């Protein structure tokens, strides 16, 4: 494994750096976010800026990750481990496969279960729309963006307003909620849109790299 090449890629949809594991709830959030998307790798012993710090005890790190994966993730997740030495420093590579039993939930400090999804370099709280799609077992691959008139109207609206809801989008394109939802979900899965959930509403914005 070319660990330096992975680090140079930087954090993204399938790569996350962790200097060390100190919080079971936070690591569970990352684990389920990868499992709910297309999988990914946690590089333990690497700082956020890509500096290789190494781990002091791979056994302790493995124990923490396994405990989080089995007790703080629902359904439980089975991580794969690989130890890689770089300049006498040990980096623990944790691989999480894209799951066939989506959605996975992570337990937070308030003992509540939430679904997370990996978008760019962040593990975000999955919107209600995305949770429904994961529950139905979205097995599509590729998620190609087709820029039809509906997508153009979506981009134009977001450039003006900055955010959009499912109801607003369905009205703009004069379509059913199901059709509008399908477009929004495709945009989320391709990293064009970010889902947001609050107590009052669910809305979508452009990601920074497309905004």
- Is the four-CA dihedral 33, 34, 35, 37 of positive or negative sign? positive
Flag whether 45 is in a domain: yes
Query: Tens digit of pLDDT for each residue in 101-154?
Result: 999 999 999 999 999 999 888 898 888 788 877 876 655 555 555 678 999 999
Residues 6+ apart with CB under 8 A from 87: 52
Provide the pLDDT for residue 187.
84
Among 18, 3, 13, 16, which residue's Cα sits nearest to residue 38? 13
Flag whether 211 is in a domain: no
The two tokens of residue 66 are 């396994």
Query: Tens digit of pLDDT for each residue in 78-96?
Result: 999 999 999 899 999 999 9
Which of 97, 122, 147 is the last residue before a domain boundary?
A: 122
Per-residue pLDDT, averaged over 14-37, amounts to 95
**CA 6 to each of CA 1, 39, 114, 172, 197: distance values in angstroms, whole numbers, following the listed order:** 9, 15, 29, 42, 32
Residues 57 and 7 reside in one and the same domain: yes
Provide the pLDDT for residue 18.
95
- Dihedral, 104, 208, 148, 188 alpha carbons, nearest 10: 0
Which of 67, 99, 122 is the last residue before a domain boundary?
A: 122
Query: Tens digit of pLDDT for each residue in 49-63?
Result: 999 999 988 899 999
Among 143, 67, 146, which residue's Cα sits nearest to residue 107? 67
Residues 115 and 131 reside in one and the same domain: no
The two tokens of residue 92 are 């623990």
Query: Residue 196 belongs to what domain range?
Result: 127-206
Total tally of structural domains belonging to the chain = 2
Provide the pLDDT for residue 69.
98
Going by the DSSP 8-state scheme, the letter that residue 103 receives in this structure is: P
Query: Tens digit of pLDDT for each residue in 151-203?
Result: 999 999 999 999 999 999 999 999 999 899 888 888 887 778 888 876 678 89
Provide the pLDDT for residue 79.
98
Q: What is the mean pLDDT of the chain?
A: 89
Residues 102 and 159 reside in one and the same domain: no
Which of 122, 137, 164 is the last residue before a domain boundary?
A: 122
The percent of residues in the chain predicted with pLDDT above 90, rounded, is 66
Residues 78 and 19 reside in one and the same domain: yes
Q: Yes or no: say if 68 and 28 are a contact pair by the CB < 8 Å rule.
A: yes
Whichever domain contains 131, its CATH number is: 1.10.10.10
Provide the pLDDT for residue 143.
54
Among 125, 123, 124, 120, which residue's Cα sits nearest to residue 12? 120
């Amino acid at each position: 494994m070319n660990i330096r090449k992975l680090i140079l890629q930087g954090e993204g949809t399938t790569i996350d750096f962790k200097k060390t594991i100190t919080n079971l709830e936070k690591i569970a959030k990352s684990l389920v976010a990868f499992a709910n998307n297309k999988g990914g790798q946690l590089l333990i012993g690497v700082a956020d800026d890509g500096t290789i710090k190494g781990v002091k005890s791979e056994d302790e790190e493995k124990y923490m990750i396994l405990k989080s994966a089995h007790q703080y993730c629902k359904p439980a997740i089975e991580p794969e481990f690989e130890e890689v030495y770089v300049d006498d420093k040990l980096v623990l590579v944790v691989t999480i496969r894209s799951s066939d039993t989506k959605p996975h939930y992570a337990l937070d400090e308030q003992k509540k279960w939430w679904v997370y999804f990996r978008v760019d370099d962040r593990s975000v709280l999955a919107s209600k729309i995305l949770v429904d799609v994961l529950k139905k077992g979205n097995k599509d691959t590729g998620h190609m963006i087709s820029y039809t008139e509906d997508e153009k109207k979506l981009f134009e609206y977001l450039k003006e307003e900055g955010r959009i809801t499912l109801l607003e989008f369905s009205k703009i394109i004069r379509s059913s909620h199901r059709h509008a939802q399908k477009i929004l979900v495709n945009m989320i899965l391709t990293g064009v849109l970010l889902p947001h959930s609050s107590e009052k509403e669910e809305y979508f914005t452009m990601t920074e790299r497309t905004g």
